[in-house]
Amino acid sequence: MLSHLALTCVLLLVTFFVARRFVRDSHKLDGFTQKHVFITGCDSGFGNLLARQLDRKGFKVIAACLTEKGAADLGAAASPRLKTLLMNVTDSASIRRAVEFVSREVGERGLWGLVNNAGRAMPIGPTDWMQLEDFTKVLDVNLLGLIDVTLQFLPLLKKARGRLVNVASVLGRLSLTGGGYCLSKYGVEAFSDSTRRDLHKFGIKVSIIEPGFFKTNITNSDLISADLKKLWARLPQETKSSYDATYIEKYKHMQDFYLGFLCNSDISKVTRCMEHALTARYPRTRYGAGWDAKLIWIPLSYCPSFVVDFIMSVLLPLPKTVRIN
């Protein structure tokens, strides 16, 4: 009898929290046509789709692209209301110029939304294949660039009591590979948490987007494989000798299999989370995007380390001379 009562109570609690989240999520703001949103990394992928998506919704979108082609293509695909500019998140002077441009656009209204989306993944691979500059290439874009952009745009966000949306990853919860990518995304999570608490008193809400694996340039198997071959080619013989000659092919084969199985082609699942963070009256602190994020990686991140270590050892090949004790 007691067990049935306990089960009923648990089910009621779960139902209550699910219903509460649904109700909170359904409350939306209005007046989008008067709100400015600045998005980084809009040449392709999530940033490009989000810019077009918000433009259709009536937002005044300012999209930062790295290349002139990216800016031109996006401008041609959107309404005249959307504006583009060139910005490199690793260049503070470039960011300052963007702040000046956006400041003129938003005036005293301030900036409603800042979406830190720009990122890179490579080089990734085994840690002992890396050099220090391999880490800094990724950290400069994904973490230090994100921090620089945030700090420089904060005065405009404060004016509007707006929204800060940072794109992290499920790999900010689980470190699945060597290189700077996972490190940078862990850093985005930590920076976002501290920033959220610091800015709460100014009315600014901070949300973290944690996508699983989606088909973008970051998960392009051919690009990753080509980069791995470059890393292998420059390794000292001593390091190569600790692996067998076929390791890189086995690594590529398993990588292709898992990316093919996991990667979702519907990147709107991610941009819908971004849009909700900008338009909801009660945005979530974290948004898991993709079936693999919700069913595999996020639950796995709560498991004991030995469980995660075992699963990771199954996902990637071992060097020929290595055995698990």
Q: Where are the domains positioned within the chain?
A: 30-315
**Percent of the chain topping pLDDT 70:** 93
Tell if the pTM clears 0.85, that is, is over it.
yes
Q: Is the pLDDT of residue 206 over 60?
A: yes
Q: Is the pLDDT of residue 298 over 60?
A: yes
- Assigned CATH for 30-315: 3.40.50.720
The confidence score (pLDDT) of residue 25 equals 62
The confidence score (pLDDT) of residue 220 equals 80
Average pLDDT over every residue of 286-306: 94
Q: Is the pLDDT of residue 268 over 60?
A: yes
Annotation marks residue 282 as catalytic: no
The confidence score (pLDDT) of residue 245 equals 72
**Percent of the chain topping pLDDT 90:** 65
More confident: 201 or 263: 201
Q: pLDDT grade, residue 306 (50/70/90)? A: very high
The confidence score (pLDDT) of residue 21 equals 63
Average pLDDT over every residue of 235-254: 80
Q: pLDDT grade, residue 322 (50/70/90)? A: low
Which of 181, 186, 243, 251 does the annotation list as catalytic?
181
Average pLDDT over every residue of 181-188: 96
The confidence score (pLDDT) of residue 26 equals 59
Q: What is the 3-state secondary structure (H, E, C) of the chain?
A: CHHHHHHHHHHHHHHHHHHHHHHHHHCECCCHHHCEEEECCCCCHHHHHHHHHHHHHCCEEEEEECCHHHHHHHHHHCCCCCEEEECCCCCHHHHHHHHHHHHHHHHHHCCCEEEECCCCCCCEECHHHCCHHHHHHHHHHHHHHHHHHHHHHHHHHHHHCCEEEEECCHHHCCCCCEEHHHHHHHHHHHHHHHHHHHHHHHCCEEEEEEECCECCHHHCHHHHHHHHHHHHHHCCHHHHHCCCCCHHHHHHHHHHHHHHHHCECCCHHHHHHHHHHHHECCCCCEEEECHHHHHHHHHHHCCCHHHHHHHHHHHCCCCCCCCCC
Average pLDDT over every residue of 130-155: 97
Return mean pLDDT, the chain: 89
Give per-residue pLDDT as tens, 104-137: 999 999 999 999 999 999 998 889 889 999 999 9
The confidence score (pLDDT) of residue 189 equals 98
More confident: 90 or 20: 90
